[in-house]
């Protein structure tokens, strides 16, 4: 079957390790099932995998891709939850949870095998392309906002780095849930798009906000860390799920954190139950993922290049 896969690890030039070509059909252990992939979306996790983060040389070649929507053996339209081993279903009860492509072959292929437990019905209101955007970036944003930030309608939230998959999702979900959403970006066009998606206002990175916020959604890391901390109300919450600009900020603002009793919360992915809630939320509220580009699988390299340069707003989706 045709697939996009990591053939080599290259920490400095990750796309040098990306190959497109034939790979074996997936193994299907007891308790697993095969899904015919219709659409799969790219995540920064795929670039990090090509750099060897979470993926060792001994696991190569590895088909990339965490997210997918497709059709099961009975003809049902489905969405996949990307975390394998979270509860022991379909794997050993003591297996450490992992994301597809860390241990098991991913979704950038004609077919993928996953535990039956990881399969959810796809709402008919969502296209395959839209549904494929949800299990990683949009689920991460959903958990950051509604589980880990604990914000309520009327609360204010700052989303750093408008344009990325998680940040875009947080803007749309937050606005749909009745939050006052502020966003930042270095790019004027992305700031305008953020406001079109529901942000109350969008500012240059590092700019002073109209007032301090209840929570910050942080995926940028070092470049925006100080601004994130300074933008919080006393008792506010900074939720971080990524560090695309680097993991080591020049100052950790420790005095401000303890004096104002700020909370710093790490957040990774989300549960199957949260994904089911997200699917329902999108259906009921008419929320749809923001898609930058849709490409056929054989043009996957173009999608990776867009993501690597940051030349996108929303998700890149590959169709099979």
Are 134 and 289 contacting, i.e. CB atoms less than 8 angstroms apart?
Answer: yes
pLDDT interval class at 230 (50, 70, 90): very high
pLDDT interval class at 250 (50, 70, 90): confident
CATH code that applies to domain 137-266: 3.40.50.720
What pLDDT, in 10s, does the model give residues 92-120? 878 888 999 999 999 999 999 999 999 99
Output the pTM of the full model. Answer: 0.92
The residues of the chain that CATH labels 3.90.180.10 are 2-133+289-319
What pLDDT, in 10s, does the model give residues 26-38? 999 999 999 999 9
**Across 184-210, average pLDDT:** 94
* Helix locations, the chain, DSSP H: 44-50, 128-131, 139-143, 165-176, 188-196, 225-230, 254-259, 272-285, 300-309
pLDDT for the residue numbered 4: 98
pLDDT interval class at 184 (50, 70, 90): very high
pLDDT for the residue numbered 271: 93
Name the residue among 270, 286, 46, 263 with its Cα closest to residue 177.
286
What pLDDT, in 10s, does the model give residues 158-182? 999 988 889 999 999 999 999 999 9
What pLDDT, in 10s, does the model give residues 74-91? 999 999 999 998 777 888
Assign 287 to helix, strand or coil. coil
The residues of the chain that CATH labels 3.40.50.720 are 137-266
Cβ neighbours for 215, distance < 8 A, ≥ 6 positions apart: 145, 149, 150, 151, 155, 156, 157, 158, 232, 236, 237, 238, 239
Domain 2-133+289-319 has CATH 2.120.10.70: no
What pLDDT, in 10s, does the model give residues 263-316? 999 998 899 999 999 999 999 999 999 999 999 999 999 999 999 998 888 899
Secondary structure letter of residue 162 according to DSSP: B
* pLDDT at 217 > cutoff 90: yes
């Amino acid at each position: 079957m045709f697939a996009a896969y990591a053939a080599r690890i290259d920490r400095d030039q990750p796309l040098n390790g990306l190959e497109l070509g034939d790979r074996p059909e997936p193994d299907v252990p007891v308790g697993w099932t095969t899904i015919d992939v219709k659409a799969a979306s790219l995540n920064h996790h795929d670039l990090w995998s090509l750099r060897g983060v979470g993926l060792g040389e001994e696991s190569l070649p590895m088909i990339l891709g965490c997210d997918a929507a497709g059709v099961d053996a009975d003809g049902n339209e489905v969405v996949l939850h990307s975390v394998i081993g979270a509860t022991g279903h379909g794997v050993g009860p003591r297996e450490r949870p992992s994301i597809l492509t860390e241990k098991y072959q991913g979704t950038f292929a004609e077919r993928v095998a996953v535990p039956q437990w990881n399969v959810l019905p796809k709402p008919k209101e969502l296209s395959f392309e839209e549904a494929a955007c949800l299990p990683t970036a949009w689920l991460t944003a959903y958990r950051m906002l509604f589980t880990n930030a604990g914000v309520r309608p009327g609360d204010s939230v700052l989303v750093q780095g408008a344009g990325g998959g998680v940040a875009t999702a947080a803007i749309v979900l937050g606005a749909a849930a009745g939050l006052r959403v502020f966003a930042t970006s270095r790019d004027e066009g992305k700031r305008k798009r953020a406001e079109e998606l529901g942000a109350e206002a969008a500012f240059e990175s590092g700019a002073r906000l109209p007032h301090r916020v209840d929570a910050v959604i942080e995926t940028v890391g070092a470049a925006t860390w100080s601004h994130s901390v300074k933008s919080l109300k006393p008792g506010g919450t900074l939720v971080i799920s990524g560090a695309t600009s680097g993991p080591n900020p020049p100052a950790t603002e420790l005095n401000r954190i303890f004096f104002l009793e700020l909370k710093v919360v790490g957040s990774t992915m989300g549960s199957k139950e949260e994904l089911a809630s997200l699917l329902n939320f999108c259906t009921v509220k008419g929320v749809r993922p923001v898609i930058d580009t849709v490409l056929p699988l054989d043009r996957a390299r173009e999608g990776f290049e867009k993501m690597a340069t940051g030349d996108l707003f929303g998700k890149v989706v590959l169709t099979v």
